[in-house]
Amino acid sequence: MVNLTAMSGFLLMGFSDERKLQILHALLFLVTYLLALTGNLLIITVITLDHRLHSPMYYFLKHLSLLDLCFISVTVPQSIANSLMGNGYISLVQCILQVFFFIALASSEVAILTVMSYDRYAAICQPLHYETTMDPSACRHAVIAVWIAGGLSGLMHAAINFSIPLCGKRVIHQFFCDVPQMLKLACSYESINEIALAAFTTSTAFICLISIVLSYIRIFSTVLRIPSAEGRTKVFSTCLPHLFVVTFFLSAAGFEFLRLPSDSSSTMDLVFSIFYTVIPPTLNPVIYSLRNDAMKAALRKMLSKEELPQRKMCLKAMFKL
């Protein structure tokens, strides 16, 4: 146990105090992290190198994979290191940075999922105007807006949450600096800044959720009017993975962030934090690849013996640039 009275940081309790369970947790997280890195890097590489995938849908998917790769890198490596060293201490600066990047990337992920749902709506419900609506300039501006919005959200959360006076021991019952858990350390939950920030976050997430729901209502109503069963299957193969990812991520994150903080810690806090911090970045590449024929064909082509030498030369040229 770290002596926090002489330090300004926090103690992350993690999953267990037993050494064997800490090692097991580190190994499981390491395997999961490597799978997430491999899957997301593979998607980014395939979409970058395969010219057939240079369309708005895959452009946004590439940025989603980049966000996932960064998102899981904010919390999991630190947790692995803490478990291996048997020391859950994290400095104040590290905690501030972790909160900033975690909120920024999570907000950006919600925004990019909203943009992706609109892209599917434009492609399926307004096909004649799709190339005009989602032209390269519009796609670039949408992605820039996603990253900027995420950065501003992370900055506001970090600034407001770390300006709140803390009472008692600086012990966080999580494997990372989780905002709901940190609010339990606050002297009071009635700060005007806290209330305003919570209202802003909730309203923004609600707007994104409503936009996604309305987009998919229009999409499914259009798809059901398609006479060809093959056409319906093709549309569902691109829409259902995205809908699953949106539902899984928003439901887990919403449960954790929108419920009232309590003084007692529970195993459910840790379980739900895994559902929105670790599982989505790991499963997203699998979900989008297995249900997408174009992605599977591009992966097979990139990994084929004939294509490997050319891909290696392309990658070397990219890294030199």
Looking only at Cα atoms, what is the longest distance across the chain?
A: 71
Angstrom distance (rounded) from CA 225 to CA 208 = 26
Confidence class of residue 5 from pLDDT cuts 50, 70 and 90?
Answer: very low
Which bin fits 168, alpha (ψ -120 to 50), beta or left (φ > 0)? left
112 lies in some domain:
yes
pLDDT in tens, 109-126: 999 999 998 998 998 888
Structure token digits, residue 300: 């097979």
Write the CA distances from 256 to 92, 162, 277, integer angstroms. Answer: 23, 19, 11
Task: Look up residue 261 and give its DSSP letter.
Answer: P
Angstrom distance (rounded) from CA 92 to CA 4 = 11
Range with top average pLDDT, 74-83, 157-166, 238-247, 298-307: 74-83
pTM: 0.84
pLDDT in tens, 126-180: 888 888 889 999 999 999 999 999 999 999 989 888 888 877 778 888 889 988 7
Query: Is a pLDDT exceeding 90 seen at residue 36?
Result: yes
Structure token digits, residue 318: 């990219």
pLDDT, average across residues 86-102? 90
pLDDT at 2: 47
314 lies in some domain:
no
CATH number, domain containing residue 68: 1.20.1070.10
Structure token digits, residue 6: 């002489």
Number of domains into which the chain is organized: 1
36 lies in some domain:
yes
59 lies in some domain:
yes
Range of the domain at 286: 9-291
Query: Is a pLDDT exceeding 50 seen at residue 1?
Result: no
pLDDT in tens, 253-298: 666 666 655 555 566 777 778 888 898 899 888 887 766 777 777 7
Q: CA angle, 234 as apex, 231 and 238 as ends, to 5°?
A: 140
276 lies in some domain:
yes
Write the CA distances from 213 to 86, 109, 220, 250, 302, integer angstroms. Answer: 44, 16, 11, 12, 35
Query: Is a pLDDT exceeding 70 seen at residue 182?
Result: yes
319 lies in some domain:
no
307 lies in some domain:
no
Q: CA angle, 79 as apex, 245 and 99 as ends, to 5°?
A: 65
Angstrom distance (rounded) from CA 304 to CA 105 = 34
Best CA proximity match to 242, nearest among 284, 201, 199: 284
Hey, is 28 helix, strand or coil? helix
